[in-house]
Amino acid sequence: MIAKLVWKDIRENFINTLIFTGLILAMTIYGLVKNFKDVRSLAVLPILIVAFSFIMVLGYAIYRGFSSLKREKDRNTLEFLLSLPVDGREIVTSKFLAFFTEVLFLSLCITLFSHIPLFYMLITKAIGKAEFISAVKTITYIAFNFFLLALFLFIVFQFYEILVLSLKTKNFFVNAILFFVYLYLLSELIAIFKKVFGFLPDQAPILHTIWGETFTIMGGTNYQGLAAGALAGVVLIVSGIILFNKRVEV
Amino acid sequence: MSEVIKVANLYKKYGTVIALQNVTLGIKKGEIVGICGPNGSGKSTFLRILTGIVKPTRGYVEVLGGFVSKKVKKNIAYVSENDVFYKWMKIEELLVFLKSFYTDMDVERAKELLRKEGLDLDKKVGELSKGNRQRLKVIMAISRSPEVILLDEPFSGIDMLSRERILNLLKEFLIGGERTALISTHFVEGLEEIFSRVIFFKEGSVVLDENCEELREKYGKSVKAMYFDVFGGLS
Amino acid sequence: MKKPNFDPNLPIYLQIMNFVKKLIVRGILKPGDKIPSVRDMALFLGVNPNTVQKAYEELEREGTIFTKRGQGNFVNEDENIIKRIKETMVKELVERYRKELEELGISKKEIFDLLKEMLE
């Protein structure tokens, strides 16, 4: 009953999600109010909102990925979950799906809120329709990539958490070393996957800002990178499930 | 009669601590078994392995004819010593949550029992006192019709009144049905009359495994008296 | 009928047998009466059904009760059975107290006189 588990997780984290949304909204309004006279500042605002918000979201993704199971363990509810007629597949994927839902909601909010300054500029005729549309495209595209990155980070850290729970290492330094080894191996794996996807166009999506500047997203991530990341994500989830079923206990 | 629970050469180690060793026994359908022993003797670990929460380091475990899989867990009820429910859930929400996993959960009966025990459906689990939380755990378990019920120290840390009430709930549930029950407890007063068998654990091993009536006939001792005999010496 | 307290140091099935016999002697269960099922008795007494089962089996072996297949357990219809049980129980009780009084050093004559006084 994955749905039940997902819903439970969403309810558990409901307050956090709300707080986040509130913060981002507050940031937006503050930025808008402070800068509504200066067009140049306003133009930067959407990017700033997206950047700051998503940095928070990425941090949240890491926190959730790493702590979702650990929190259950600390509160003895992991014992409850393990006694239920559910397997690791349901537990691991439900945690991911719950986070997916929340981060989707947050991403939509961020995208929406960052459009507010653009709307304002459009209405006050500070920018034209074409510029508006191009800016909207840019913002949405950036937000989408951050959304994917958040998902990826969650998966990466969730697997690490399962690893730690399985190995039952309590020593901080051992876990830290384990973490770096893990990241290294993961990056090697992604490099291999990139080669696998070598048939994809070797180009990064290019964006235009409202000032007519172009830049590549995420330090040059190209289609190969994105596909490799997706595959790595799937591999990590599946491995996480297998590891969970085999070794996680209370 | 077939064996509902079968373990052979069960061995469990946590790091350097040996929690269970050389445990081999079988429990038949309908037996009500008392599991006694001092803290750290392995009782909890034993029950947790049967529940599937803990995996044995070595050894064979079979419950209801197979490994403790998702399917088997549907027919097991486990009352943990710890507070395992989500503290933010209201009792009513917990009922709904459990019902979605256990089709044998009788929600009406649960509500009736909760009402009888004075537990408000609208209250959050975290707002309940320890005694109430224990009763909640037991009620959730006995509102189902599991083939096997495992209770880990259902009376620990609660007041006498709660204890009596839980005792009565359990007695009715166990004597009525054809279920197999394992109860790990320090308190045997009022409970040992319903035990058909008693197993003593000491430092991870089984040191006594007897039919209760035989215990009384052979040694003229109650389970409680036997307990003191086996574990009494303060060392 | 109050539920008896069982001494956990002694076999429970024997105590259940005594309980049933008491019910018979007191006339709460009459010859030919149906006695509660194993399950009902176990629930009432708060004991394991297997123990009740054993008690009933022993009672049947003794001839105190008999089983009608598919219908349950019944008290022996023979009136003499009750007499016999009563006698046995009384004798056992008296013997127990006579022994204890003897241990106190009280002579048979003293016991007899005391009893006469008390029962008048």
Prediction ipTM score: 0.91
Cβ–Cβ gap B193/C42 under 8 Å: no
Cβ–Cβ gap B193/C9 under 8 Å: no
| Torsion over CA: B114, B118, B120, B123 (sign) | negative
**C44 CA to chain B: closest CA distance, Å?**
9
Mean pLDDT of B148-159: 90
The CA dihedral of B136, B139, B141, B144, to the nearest 10 degrees, is -140
* B19 part of a folded domain: yes
Asked if B223 reaches chain C (Cβ–Cβ under 8 Å), the answer is yes
| Maximum pairwise Cα distance, chain B | 52
pLDDT for residue B235: 43
Asked if B225 reaches chain C (Cβ–Cβ under 8 Å), the answer is yes
Beta strand segments in chain B, E:
3-14, 17-28, 32-36, 58-63, 76-79, 148-152, 180-184, 197-202, 205-211
Does residue C18 carry a pLDDT above 50?
A: yes
Cβ–Cβ gap A85/B51 under 8 Å: no
pLDDT in tens, A147-157: 988 999 999 99
Does residue B44 carry a pLDDT above 90?
A: yes
Model confidence at C77, pLDDT cuts 50, 70, 90, reads confident
Mean pLDDT of B48-57: 94
* B99 part of a folded domain: no
SS (H, E, C) C20-58: HHHHHHCCCCCCCCEECCHHHHHHHHCCCHHHHHHHHHH
Class of residue C20 by CB neighbours under 10 A (exposed 0-12, middle 13-18, buried 19+): buried
Residues of chain C contacting B171 with CB distance shorter than 8 Å: 43, 46
Cβ–Cβ gap A4/B100 under 8 Å: yes
Does residue A208 carry a pLDDT above 70?
A: no
Minimum Cα–Cα distance from A15: chain B residue? B88
Model confidence at A211, pLDDT cuts 50, 70, 90, reads low
Instruction: Please spell the DSSP secondary structure of A97-159, one letter per residue.
Output: HHHHHHHHHHHHHHHHHHHHHHHHHHHTTSS-HHHHHHHHHHHHHHHHHHHHHHHHHHHHHHH
Give the DSSP H or E segment for C117. helix C108-119
Written as one letter, the residue type at C70 is: G
Model confidence at A245, pLDDT cuts 50, 70, 90, reads very high
Interface test with B, best of C39, C50, C51 (most B CBs within 10 A): C50
CB B210 within 8 A of CB B216: no
SS (H, E, C) B47-63: HHHHHCCCCCCEEEEEE
Q: Which chains border A (3 or more CB–CB pairs < 8 Å)?
A: B
Does residue B39 carry a pLDDT above 90?
A: no
Q: Which residue has the tokens 């029992």?
A: B113
**A216 CA to chain B: closest CA distance, Å?**
45
**C119 CA to chain B: closest CA distance, Å?**
35
CB A36 within 8 A of CB A93: no
Mean pLDDT of B58-63: 94
* B117 part of a folded domain: no
Asked if B220 reaches chain C (Cβ–Cβ under 8 Å), the answer is yes
Model confidence at A145, pLDDT cuts 50, 70, 90, reads confident
**Residue A65 to residue A103: CA distance in whole angstroms:** 12
Mean pLDDT of A205-230: 66
Does residue A35 carry a pLDDT above 60?
A: yes
Percent of chain A with pLDDT over 90: 38
pLDDT for residue C114: 83
Pairwise pLDDT comparison (A223 vs A66), residue with the higher score = A66
pLDDT for residue A217: 54
pLDDT for residue A134: 81
Residues of chain B contacting C51 with CB distance shorter than 8 Å: 193, 196, 213
- Give the A window 99-128 contacts with B, CB below 8 Å: none
The closest of B126, B134, B55 to B88, measured between CA atoms, is B126
**B226 CA to chain A: closest CA distance, Å?**
32
Residues of chain C contacting B195 with CB distance shorter than 8 Å: 48
Cβ-based neighbour number of residue B62 at 10 Å: 17
pLDDT for residue B234: 52
Domain ranges of chain A: 2-247
The closest of A174, A166, A115, A122 to A142, measured between CA atoms, is A115
Does residue A215 carry a pLDDT above 70?
A: no
β-bridge pairing B32-36 and B180-184: parallel
Average pLDDT, chain C: 88
Structure tokens at B41: 């003797």
**Residue C94 to residue C101: CA distance in whole angstroms:** 10
Number of domains in chain B: 1
pTM, two decimal places: 0.87
**B117 CA to chain A: closest CA distance, Å?**
23
For residue B47, the enclosing domain spans 3-84+145-231
Percent of chain B with pLDDT over 70: 98
Model confidence at C41, pLDDT cuts 50, 70, 90, reads very high
Cβ-based neighbour number of residue B109 at 10 Å: 14
Mean pLDDT of B135-152: 94
Asked if A73 reaches chain B (Cβ–Cβ under 8 Å), the answer is no
pLDDT in tens, B77-130: 999 999 999 999 999 999 999 999 999 999 999 999 999 989 999 999 999 998
Does residue A8 carry a pLDDT above 70?
A: yes
Model confidence at A139, pLDDT cuts 50, 70, 90, reads confident
Structure tokens at A131: 């510029």
Mean pLDDT of C57-77: 89
The CATH number for B196's domain is 3.40.50.300
Structure tokens at B158: 């609660």
**Alpha carbons within 13 A on the beta-carbon side of B176:** 9
CB C9 within 8 A of CB B220: yes
Give the DSSP H or E segment for B218. helix B212-219
**Residue A224 to residue A195: CA distance in whole angstroms:** 8
pLDDT for residue B233: 65
Cβ–Cβ gap B222/C50 under 8 Å: no
Does residue B168 carry a pLDDT above 60?
A: yes
* B139 part of a folded domain: no
Does residue B51 carry a pLDDT above 90?
A: yes
**Residue C9 to residue A99: CA distance in whole angstroms:** 58
Does residue C98 carry a pLDDT above 90?
A: no
pLDDT for residue A127: 78
SS (H, E, C) A30-79: HHHHHHCCCHHHHHHHHHHHHHHHHHHHHHHHHHHHHHHHHHHHHCCHHH
Does residue A216 carry a pLDDT above 80?
A: no
**B188 CA to chain A: closest CA distance, Å?**
26
Mean pLDDT of A63-88: 91
Mean pLDDT of B174-193: 87
**Residue B128 to residue B136: CA distance in whole angstroms:** 9
The closest of B184, B230, B209 to B35, measured between CA atoms, is B184
Radius of gyration of chain A (CA): 20
Cβ–Cβ gap B193/C39 under 8 Å: no
Does residue A219 carry a pLDDT above 70?
A: no
CB B94 within 8 A of CB B85: yes
Which of the listed ranges A177-181, A211-215, B155-159 does the model predict with the highest average pLDDT?
Answer: A177-181
Cβ–Cβ gap B175/C51 under 8 Å: no
- The H-assigned helical ranges of A197-219 are none
